[in-house]
Amino acid sequence: MQDISTSHMPLVALSQAERMLAEISTASDAMNMIDMAEAARVWAQRAKLGTASINYATAIKLKAEIRLAEVVDEGQRRGEIALVGQPQKSIVRTPNNTSVRLEQLGISRRSVHEARRIRDAFTPEAIDEIVHSANALDKEIARREFVQQRAHVSYSGGGNEWYTPKAFIEAARRAMGSIDTDPASNSTAQSWIQAHTYYTREQNGLEQQWAGNVWLNPPYAQPLISQFCDKVVDEYEAGRVSQAVVLVNNATETKWGQRLLAPCTAVCFPFGRIKFLDETGKPKLTPLQGQMFVYLGSSETHFAAEFSSIGLTLYGWEVS
């Protein structure tokens, strides 16, 4: 890989840096890319180049952090980097069999820990989607938003849960008549969803049978969101699912978004971003983009009657 300078290089050079991400093969290369992207972000901010330029640099930094986590993990699997708890922690073995500590390369364990948090929460494609949405709103994103909010990526346990407010659940229940299956859920959410059948992360709803009327609020990270959207469409087209209300980000340009919208008979775009709840029922931070409720079924007029007060509702391809 080419040497990456960490000086204040012009922002336009980031396009070349993005192409080089796949070539990163060492932790040092990844850290140099992270430092370069941060320098470009600061430069764009000081030069007042606008949110799109700042967000682009932030996205490159986040992708480089993902690569850092991958490279370190690959080194640990090969035995070149010691696992935590082993003797001579944080050691990289070089081709001539000498040992170099990560700290000597300017890489701290905290940096690797934070990089793993980003890697576990997001794919590069998910980062691009968030940046695209932020740019559309002329909103500057920051790394801390990814670490703290994690963009609704989990659906079972822990502080990453984003629960749907009860009012929306009840609207879906009235629109369909019942909620028979909730394939991406947990016991806390079921205290108000009350589906006849629900599946947790451990049970993996993607491997289970879905039937009847489905409420689906899937995990929002790739590849899970694509897999859940494909599954609900497949089950509906096969006749095993009678109706479905699916709550997702309004990423209409994505493959999974278009896959979901193609067979739908109605869709609602809420008037504002949904304030999801935490496990205690308190509102969480507002998500970075808006949402949509997608309806699959033959009772689109019932869906429209329930959701027209929630947002712009289209059915029969007329505005309600």
**Residue with the larger pLDDT of the pair 244 and 103:** 244
Tell me the average pLDDT of the chain: 80
CATH fold group of domain 158-319: Rossmann fold (3.40.50)
242 with 212: CB under 8 angstroms?
yes
307 contacts 171 by C-beta, under 8 angstroms: yes
Taking the C-alpha atoms of residue 243 and residue 215, their distance in angstroms, rounded to an integer, is 9
| Residue 104, number of CB atoms within 10 A of its CB | 11
> Whose structure tokens read 């336009």?
12
95-109, 125-139, 149-163: segment of lowest average pLDDT:
149-163
pLDDT at 311: 95
Helix (H, G, I), strand (E, B) or coil at 296: strand
Residue 159, pLDDT score: 37
Q: Which alpha helices (DSSP H) does the chain contain, by range?
A: 14-20, 27-46, 51-77, 109-121, 124-136, 143-149, 166-176, 190-193, 224-237, 255-261, 300-307
Greater model confidence, 165 or 253: 165
The CB density around residue 206, as the number of other CB atoms within 10 Å, is 15
In this predicted structure, the answer to whether residue 212 has a pLDDT above a threshold of 90 is yes
CA distances from 206 to 25, 170, 200, 228 (A): 34, 24, 10, 7
Question: DSSP H helical segments within 217-294, as ranges?
Answer: 224-237, 255-261
pLDDT of 94 above 70: no
Instruction: Report the range of poorest mean pLDDT among 2-16, 97-111, 276-290.
Output: 2-16
Residues forming a β-bridge with 4: none
Query: Is the pLDDT reported for residue 98 higher than 60?
Result: no
The region of weakest confidence among 79-88, 118-127, 181-190 is 79-88
pLDDT of residue 225: 87
The answer on pLDDT for 310 being more than 80 is yes
Q: Model pTM? A: 0.56
Which residues belong to CATH 3.40.50 in the chain? 158-319
pLDDT digits (tens, 9 = 90+) for 148-171: 544 444 333 333 467 899 999 999
Q: List pLDDT tens digits, range 66-76.
A: 889 888 888 77
Does pLDDT of 185 surpass 70? yes
Where does the pLDDT of residue 14 fall: very low under 50, low under 70, confident under 90, or very high at 90 and above? low
Residue 182 confidence (pLDDT) above 90: yes
**In terms of pLDDT, which residue wins out, 17 or 301?**
301
Residues 238-248, mean pLDDT to the nearest whole number: 97
Task: Tell me the pLDDT tens digit for each residue of 261-288.
Answer: 999 999 999 998 888 887 777 776 566 6
Structure tokens at 278: 């935490």
Does the pLDDT value for residue 99 go beyond 70? Answer: no
Query: Of 118 and 299, which is predicted with more confidence?
Result: 299
- Tell me the pLDDT band of 91, cut-offs 50, 70 and 90: very low
One-letter identity of residue 280: T
Contacts of 155 (CB under 8 A, 6+ apart): 161, 184, 185, 186, 201, 217, 218, 219
Task: State yes or no: cis peptide before 223, omega within 30 of 0.
Answer: yes
